[in-house]
């Protein structure tokens, strides 16, 4: 398959060998991200969102390891690179933003030094130039009085400002791709809106691709161009965000959208939220067939025995037996 | 209009956040106080849900703790069904507290990991009701079934349950002493959305079946819209707006409420660009003068930084903002 995608993830499978058997938190996941495109990865806890992100950038904690599939960045295979080669990729070509801004920053180092150190490591520039670059990065992410804040330490910043600094750090090496793992989950709504707008604006300006991992369907709707819905380590549905959220085909996606209360659009007669019964299966007790079948409202006989494969339907790609026969 | 079950008047709580005495003397610092809750008034009608919404540091949880008696107010009153919790006799207070219960945010921290579920759920029965062991066991089984668990689950320990099931155990415990009033402090913010939907639906069914009154504390406006009858919006300890749900969402009067509603992510807000407010919540130890929200407010007028707005009432809504100082103009 040759496309001009920025990032191609093909049948990525991650294994964690344990005494009680091998866990497969990510199972044959495939998707692409283009330049300048924001792709959301959504799912509930345990769906494999974060592990997919870590696997792409080679940050899996042993004993977890990539057991199959490939990750290519602009046509170059990165999933079998060694640590040294990966170090050239991380920060320079793929930036990361994690959930908790306090733990992603070094508490004993000033913001300016953290930024210029990163710039020097990736861009082959001197100290003075790096400091200028750091200042520009802080201005770009909207830190007020950036010049005087360069020598401040992380604890002197508020939560939203820290997350801006982390975004500045991720962008300073001018990467082609950013992996943002729940970047606003720890923030208040008003600040969340600021940070998401910032991420969206900067990435469109610089033509950077973004993989935005979140569990919030509202964030997905407002921020992303395309969305990958994960369930129990497998892709349930991939497609254009608007298409997937308004006309979801997979019953799990329908359930997720229906379960999300909407602040603007709820009928006066307090209708019930659409609930999905049960919870996501544990990795050691994965059901046979489609992993969603025990919770699915439209379960059929075939679902209990056969794993659905991904197939193209209208504008989405879906792994579901529902309506699949009609097409074949 | 129904009678109100809970009335809160001029409720205030100040925390002393000073450094230790010696450090203060050496550094020549004054005592520092943090006003977590500042003269908050509201009342909750019997059988309804009142939601308090606000961002971190707004005083939501402090109010919850004062209502259930885990913290005492610095000043102001809490009346529950006519009983003033600060001044009533000990017998009145204990019979009133039996009728109040609380559901906590973190279903992992709020259940004792060494107790079996039947003991967790049965504890309020032991504390408040004088019943025999067989009646207690029967009551625990009923409660577990009521919240959608099975009676066999009583013998298990909390670690054997998922987050949503644990929250159901927390709800069963809250219902054990047959309370009328339940304070719910962010009951679903630790849960996934499909599980959150299960828990919210369960709470609404229980309210309808048992005639419960809820104080629902959350930062999530979407959940408020789904659960509440009446909504109070807090900012840095002050209740800045209080209105029936529909009116609050249709015509928010306070600029902060308008901002909160606009900033909440929407499932149908495809590619929506926010006009995000500037700045963040200020330090509650030294809040801005006048109206606390004025440094971030897009509609501020000259007096906002000096004058604390008074509360203006109209029908069953109230607002404290200088834009509405001549009564509510909507």
Task: Tell me the average pLDDT of chain A.
Answer: 87
Say yes or no: B202 contacts chain A, CB-CB below 8 A: no
pLDDT of A4 above 80: no
Closest CA to B214 of B223, B227, B201: B227
The reported pLDDT for the residue numbered A2 is 46
Q: pLDDT band for B27, please (50, 70, 90 cuts).
A: confident
> Nearest-CA residue of chain A relative to B278?
A194
Gap from A161 CA to chain B (nearest CA, Å): 9
pLDDT of A71 above 90: yes
What ipTM was assigned to the predicted interfaces of this complex?
0.80
Q: pLDDT band for A108, please (50, 70, 90 cuts).
A: very high
Which of A188, A197, A222 comes nearest B219 by C-beta? Answer: A188
Residue B108 phi, psi dihedral angles, 5° rounding = -90, -35
Distance separating alpha carbons of residues B171 and B157, to the nearest angstrom: 16
Residue to test with chain B: of A273, A277, A283, most B Cβ within 10 A: A273
The reported pLDDT for the residue numbered B96 is 86
B301-319 average pLDDT score = 88
Q: Do B226 and A275 touch (CB under 8 A)?
A: no
The reported pLDDT for the residue numbered B111 is 92
Q: pLDDT band for A326, please (50, 70, 90 cuts).
A: very low
> Nearest-CA residue of chain B relative to A267?
B226
The proportion of chain B whose per-residue pLDDT surpasses 90, expressed as a percent, equals 42
Q: What is the pLDDT of residues B119-140, one digit of tens each?
A: 999 999 988 888 899 999 999 9
Q: pLDDT band for A160, please (50, 70, 90 cuts).
A: confident
A138-159 average pLDDT score = 88
The reported pLDDT for the residue numbered A41 is 95
Closest CA to B271 of A227, A36, A222, A194: A222
Which of A191, A259, A276 comes nearest B280 by C-beta? Answer: A191
B173-182 average pLDDT score = 92
Q: What is the pLDDT of residues A261-300, one digit of tens each?
A: 876 655 444 567 788 888 888 888 888 889 999 988 888 8
Closest CA to B321 of B225, B261, B233: B233
The proportion of chain A whose per-residue pLDDT surpasses 70, expressed as a percent, equals 94
Partners of residue B55 in chain A, C-beta under 8 Å: 188-190
For residue B128, what are the CA distances in angstroms to B1, B123, B139? 32, 9, 13
Give the three-state DSSP class for A92.
coil
B residues 151-170 near A, CB within 8 Å? Answer: 162-165
The reported pLDDT for the residue numbered A1 is 44
Residue to test with chain B: of A193, A244, A250, most B Cβ within 10 A: A193
Partners of residue B164 in chain A, C-beta under 8 Å: 279
pLDDT of A145 above 90: no
Gap from B200 CA to chain A (nearest CA, Å): 8
**Burial of B250 (C-beta count, 10 Å sphere; 0-12/13-18/19+):** exposed
Task: Tell me the average pLDDT of chain B.
Answer: 88
Which of B56, B201, B273 comes nearest A275 by C-beta? Answer: B201
pLDDT of A328 above 50: no
Sheet (strand B83-84) strand order? B33-45, B4-16, B75-80, B83-84
Say yes or no: B330 contacts chain A, CB-CB below 8 A: no
Q: What is the pLDDT of residues B50-63, one digit of tens each?
A: 999 988 888 888 99
Distance separating alpha carbons of residues B300 and A313, to the nearest angstrom: 52
Would the CA dihedral through B159, B160, B165, B170 be positive or negative? negative
pLDDT of A150 above 50: yes
**Burial of B218 (C-beta count, 10 Å sphere; 0-12/13-18/19+):** buried
A182-210 average pLDDT score = 87
Which of B193, B268, B271 comes nearest A215 by C-beta? Answer: B193
pLDDT of A141 above 70: yes
Q: pLDDT band for B86, please (50, 70, 90 cuts).
A: confident
The reported pLDDT for the residue numbered A224 is 93
Q: Do B55 and A215 touch (CB under 8 A)?
A: no
The reported pLDDT for the residue numbered A327 is 43
Torsion of CA B80, B82, B83, B86, to 10 degrees: 80
User: How many contacts, defined by CB atoms under 8 Å, are there between A and B?
Assistant: 144
> Nearest-CA residue of chain B relative to A184?
B265
Distance separating alpha carbons of residues B83 and B74, to the nearest angstrom: 18
Q: pLDDT band for A214, please (50, 70, 90 cuts).
A: very high
> Nearest-CA residue of chain B relative to A243?
B270
Distance separating alpha carbons of residues A44 and A230, to the nearest angstrom: 8
Q: Do B265 and A45 touch (CB under 8 A)?
A: no
Residues 6 or more apart whose Cβ sits within 8 Å of residue B64: B52, B102, B183, B185, B215, B217
B75-94 average pLDDT score = 85
The count of other CB atoms within 10 Å of the CB of residue A73 is 22
The reported pLDDT for the residue numbered A284 is 83
Say yes or no: B272 contacts chain A, CB-CB below 8 A: yes
Q: Do B226 and A266 touch (CB under 8 A)?
A: yes
- The string of DSSP letters for A227-241 reads EEEEETTEEEEEEEH
Say yes or no: B198 contacts chain A, CB-CB below 8 A: yes
Which of B224, B270, B280 comes nearest A242 by C-beta? Answer: B270
B157-169 average pLDDT score = 89
Which of B55, B225, B272 comes nearest A190 by C-beta? Answer: B55
pLDDT of B2 above 80: no
């Amino acid at each position: 398959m040759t496309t001009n995608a920025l990032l191609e993830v093909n049948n990525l499978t991650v294994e964690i060998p344990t005494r009680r058997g091998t866990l497969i938190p990510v199972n044959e996941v495939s998707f692409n991200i283009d330049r300048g495109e924001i792709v959301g990865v959504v799912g509930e806890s345990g769906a494999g969102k974060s592990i997919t992100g870590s696997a792409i950038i080679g940050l899996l904690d042993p004993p977890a390891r990539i057991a199959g599939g490939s990750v290519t960045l602009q046509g170059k295979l990165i999933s079998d690179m060694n640590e040294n080669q990966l170090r050239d990729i991380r920060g320079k070509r793929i930036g990361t933003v994690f959930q908790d801004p306090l733990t992603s920053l070094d508490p004993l180092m000033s913001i300016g030094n953290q930024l210029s150190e990163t710039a020097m490591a990736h861009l082959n520039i001197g100290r003075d130039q790096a400091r200028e670059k750091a200042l520009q990065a802080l201005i770009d992410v909207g830190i007020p009085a950036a010049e005087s804040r360069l020598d401040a330490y992380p604890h002197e910043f508020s939560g939203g400002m820290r997350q801006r600094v982390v975004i500045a750090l991720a962008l300073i090496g001018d990467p082609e791709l950013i992996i943002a793992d729940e970047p606003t989950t720890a923030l208040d709504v008003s600040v969340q809106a600021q940070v998401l707008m910032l991420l969206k604006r900067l990435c469109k300006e610089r033509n950077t691709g973004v993989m935005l991992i979140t569990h919030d369907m509202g964030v997905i709707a407002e921020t992303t161009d395309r969305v990958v819905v994960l369930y129990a380590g497998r892709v349930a549905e991939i497609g254009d965000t608007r298409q997937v959220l308004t006309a979801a085909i997979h019953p799990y996606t329908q359930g997720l959208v229906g379960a999300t209360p909407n602040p603007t659009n709820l009928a006066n007669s307090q209708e019930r939220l659409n609930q999905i019964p049960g919870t996501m299966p544990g990795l050691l007790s994965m059901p046979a067939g489609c992993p969603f079948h025990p919770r699915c409202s439209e379960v059929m006989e075939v679902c209990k025995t056969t794993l659905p494969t991904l197939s193209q339907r209208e504008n989405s790609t879906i792994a579901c037996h529902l309506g699949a026969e009609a097409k074949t | 209009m129904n009678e109100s079950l809970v009335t809160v008047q001029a409720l205030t709580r100040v925390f002393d956040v000073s450094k230790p005495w010696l450090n203060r003397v050496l550094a020549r610092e004054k005592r520092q106080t943090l006003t977590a809750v500042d003269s908050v008034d509201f009342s909750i009608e019997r059988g309804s849900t009142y939601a308090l919404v606000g961002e971190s540091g707004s005083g939501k949880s402090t109010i919850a703790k004062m209502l259930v008696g885990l913290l005492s107010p610095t000043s102001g009153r809490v009346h529950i069904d006519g009983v003033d919790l600060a001044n009533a006799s000990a017998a009145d207070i204990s019979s009133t507290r039996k009728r109040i219960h609380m559901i906590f945010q973190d279903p992992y921290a709020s259940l004792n990991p060494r107790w079996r579920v039947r003991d967790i759920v049965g504890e309020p029965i032991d504390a408040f009701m004088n019943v025999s062991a067989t009646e207690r066991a029967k009551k625990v089984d009923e409660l577990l079934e009521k919240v959608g668990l099975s009676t066999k689950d009583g013998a298990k320990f909390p670690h054997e349950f998922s987050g949503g099931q644990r929250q159901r155990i927390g709800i069963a415990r809250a219902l054990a002493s047959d309370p009328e009033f339940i304070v719910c402090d962010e009951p679903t913010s630790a849960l996934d959305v499909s599980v959150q939907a299960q828990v919210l639906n369960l709470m609404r069914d229980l309210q309808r079946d048992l005639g419960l009154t809820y104080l629902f504390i959350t930062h999530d406006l979407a959940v408020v819209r789904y659960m509440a009858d009446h909504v109070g919006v807090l900012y840095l300890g002050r209740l800045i707006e209080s209105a029936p749900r529909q009116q609050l969402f249709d015509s928010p009067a306070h600029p902060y409420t308008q901002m909160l509603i606009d900033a909440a992510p929407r499932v149908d807000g495809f590619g929506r660009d926010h006009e995000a407010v500037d700045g963040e919540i200020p330090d509650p130890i030294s809040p801005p003068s006048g109206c606390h929200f004025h440094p971030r407010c897009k509609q501020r007028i000259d007096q906002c930084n000096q004058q604390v707005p008074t509360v203006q009432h109209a029908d069953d809504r109230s607002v404290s903002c200088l834009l509405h100082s001549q009564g509510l103009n909507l």
